[in-house]
Chain A
Amino acid sequence: MDVSNILAAHAAKYQAVTVEKETPLDVDPGLLLVTDLNPIEEETYNENLEEHLQSLARDGVQALMASLFSLPTKTSPDGPLAILPPPVYQLPRAKPLPKPKPPTKWEKFAAAKGISHKTKEKKVWDEEKQDWVDRWGRHGKNKEVREQWIHEVPLNADADWDPRKAARDERKERVAKNEKKAQQNLARASRPQSERNEEIERTLATTRISTASMGKFDKKLDGEKKIRGVKRKFDPTEVPIATEKKNSLDLLAKMESDSKKMRREPRGEENPLNVRKAINRASGGRGGIALGRELSGGGGRGRGRGGRGRGGRR
């Protein structure tokens, strides 16, 4: 019995499971990604684009499926699941790189002087305890004075001088100062110096005229300048008359277009009915006056001038 033609018919019906390409397809199962690096065949591309694309897509999906079925699986209540390997292809960033932080005043100074950053260890060696202790924090080295059992009192100290409180105040002061510097760094980073100077000058000008006498009887500091306002600027009296005419006509044209725009907008919202068009239609193109006359039964006076009312009423 010859089954070769049956097999051939079967083979023609179903395409091969393995995909043969000149350059093998690049499959990344971790991202479910297939890349076809083969150059496009111009002949089939030009002949039937849709078919060409479909065959390309089919090959790609076939290769992906084949790679998925070769992966290790684990069983689950929904059936076997393939365990995807970690992705190989490097996806580009979705967002731009974060901008570097603007340098603080100290960082700028250090860079200018060539001072390199030294990392401080959190632990420091304590000679007395013969042990490593924290530099700061609970039982830190910076709170050593507080735990001392005997204190040296300066000669000029008050009677109620508390060495523990003095040490604490000094420490707190340093913290506050650092906080203030950090705030200044933030302010500096948010706006350039010139802008801040401008604002300061504006504020100063406002405060100078904000007294009861509008600054007239205030004490003058030496080197203080008179406040100058913005001077008005006008065109010269004698310009070529042609340019003046052109400017005026331009302004007129602009005003006209503006007023047209202004008129159009509210009408669209208020009244969906185009009144002008409706009147035109009802009066047969003779205008609202003619229509009114007709309805009130008024006679022949206006008959002769009917043409004038055409489209007259806006």
Chain B
Amino acid sequence: MRPLTEEESKAVFTKLANYIGKNLVHLIDRPDEPYCFRLHRDRVYYVSESSMRLGISVARPNLVSLGTCFGKFSKSGKFKLHITALDYVAQYAKYKIWIKPNGEMPFLYGNHVVKAHLGRITEDTPEHQGVVVFSMSDIPLGFGVTARSTVDTRKLDPTAIIVFHQADVGEYLRDEDTLF
């Protein structure tokens, strides 16, 4: 377990900022308790200071996980956001999309969101913007990247993809062994 280097921090922050924008400051500068990012076996954990201090006393091979896993670094140094970060990402999300009940299952099985399943979408969402996917009852289901801007989606046919799938809560079952 160690703090992130500047390059690693940069990779993590740019990925998070794609979803929550300037709200990223609220993750770092929290009023309740100080939180920090820690790297352990290529995974980035978002930990409260007290848990981090407890975790220091655990030897590296014995430490399985701590805090909330936000994602992992690939071997080539790219950062991949995991579904476990959804709680924080959904809380501060800048752009959201709500999908109809009949679209929930396809999305939770790892498919992209098509226009037919689109319930609501935040106004003025640009193209290739990270968005959080909600069910119509405001339960966060995952996140993805918009294929088109909100204005452009009007002209599309119902089968066109509007959000590329990135992560969904179905991964808790599918990738149970590698997720945390």
Interface residues of A (CB under 8 A from B): 234-239, 241-242, 244-245, 248-249, 251-252, 255-256, 287-289, 292, 308-309, 312-313
Q: Is the Cβ of A234 less than 8 Å from the Cβ of B5?
A: yes
Q: Is the Cβ of A312 less than 8 Å from the Cβ of B123?
A: yes
- The 4 A-B pairs at the shortest CB distance, nearest first, are namely A241-B34, A248-B28, A235-B3, A234-B2
Chain B residues near A238 (CB-CB < 8 A): 52-53, 56
Q: Is the Cβ of B151 less than 8 Å from the Cβ of A234?
A: no
Interface residues of B in 27-51 (CB under 8 A from A): 28-29, 34, 36-38, 49
Known: A241-B49, A249-B28, A289-B151. A255 touches B10 (CB 8 A): yes
Chain A residues near B3 (CB-CB < 8 A): 234-237, 239, 244
Known: A241-B49, A248-B9. A255 touches B2 (CB 8 A): no
A-B contact pairs, 8 of them (CB 8 A): A235-B2, A235-B5, A239-B3, A241-B34, A245-B29, A249-B25, A251-B6, A252-B24
Complex Cα distance A288/B126, Å?
13
Smallest beta-carbon distance A300→chain B, Å: 17
Whether B14 sits at the interface, judged by CB under 8 Å, is: yes
Q: How large is the interface on B (under 10, 10 to 19, 20 to 34, 35 or more residues)?
A: 20 to 34
Complex Cα distance A88/B93, Å?
83
Complex Cα distance A202/B56, Å?
39
Complex Cα distance A302/B24, Å?
31
Interface residues of B in 1-33 (CB under 8 A from A): 1-3, 5-6, 9-10, 13-14, 17, 22, 24-25, 28-29
Residue in contact with A313 in the complex, picked from B25, B37, B49, B124, CB distance below 8 Å:
B124
Nearest B residue to A232, CB-CB = B5
Q: Is the Cβ of B123 less than 8 Å from the Cβ of A289?
A: yes
Smallest beta-carbon distance A295→chain B, Å: 12
Residue in contact with B2 in the complex, picked from A237, A241, A251, A289, CB distance below 8 Å:
A237
Q: Is the Cβ of B123 less than 8 Å from the Cβ of A252?
A: no
Additional 16 contacts, C-beta under 8 A, given A237-B1, A251-B9: A234-B5, A235-B5, A236-B3, A237-B2, A237-B56, A238-B53, A242-B34, A245-B34, A249-B25, A249-B29, A251-B6, A251-B10, A252-B24, A252-B25, A288-B151, A292-B151
Q: Is the Cβ of B123 less than 8 Å from the Cβ of A244?
A: no
